[in-house]
Amino acid sequence: MATNPKSDEADAIVQELRIVSAERAVRMAEPGLAVRVQALKHYQQKRFRRTYADLLNDARHRDAAQFFLEELYGPKDFEERDAQFMRIVPAVRRMFPQEIVHTVANLASLHALSETLDTEMGRRLPGDVVTAVDYAAAWRATGRPQAREQQIALTLAVGESLDRYTRVPMIRTTLRMMRGPARAAGMSELQRFLETGFDTFKAMRGAEHFLRCIATRERALATALFAETSVARATGSNVGDTDPLGQLP
């Protein structure tokens, strides 16, 4: 029997969101963990602002960089959005084109992986004030460079999908037509994410430079963080302008 890609991906979305829900429960059960993870998320958002200050200050790339900052890197609480997604996965499969369902599946995978890694790192932080040394030590202690590479790849996949949408004239029309049905089906948050993502990438007039910056800088930082010397270099004593660890706040 042939499999239905939309059905398989819809099931995967549900599984990923269950992982996210489980991570939230774990954090609430372990004393101090939720606070440390939230501090970590704020630190990571500060790091993104520093790493991509040029894009955030550039008229062409500003909105897309801000979109990534708020939707993929920030400390924003997505619990309401996730609960909404869980309720409406069957409707997503039924109402949206396959490519959009695939993008939502990648987003859910990225969300679950990020939350899992944030929990692991939060356990390794000494407190709720995060320093560059704490951050580097926590990443090395996870011992999961492959997971970090997967996280980067999923981030790029979401961006590449949004960029592809901008080259398909009917996608924007389809999204606009979906507003009413999406609202009625309880999918307003998903609709907002897709429309905002489309509009910010459309305004860039090509995302090649933006996505190349993300790929190059995130992978260089990941390599530096998992190096044996990462913690010593994160103290600032040997961090120069060319060292990726120099972007840590």
- In DSSP notation, 134-201 reads HHHHHHHHHT-HHHHHHHHHHHHHHHHHHHHHTT-HHHHHHHHHHHHHHHHTT-HHHHHHHHHHHHHH
The reported pTM is: 0.87
Instruction: State the residue for tokens 């029997």.
Output: 1
Q: Which amino acid is at 43?
A: Y
What percent of the chain has pLDDT above 70? 85
Tokens for 29?
């059960």
> CA-to-CA distance for 83 and 68, rounded, in angstroms?
21
Q: Is the pLDDT of residue 134 over 70?
A: yes
The confidence band for 198, taking pLDDT boundaries of 50, 70 and 90, is confident
The tokens describing 84, both together, are: 């909404």
Q: What is the pLDDT of residue 169?
A: 72
CA distance 72 to 52: 14
Does the pLDDT at position 238 exceed 60? no
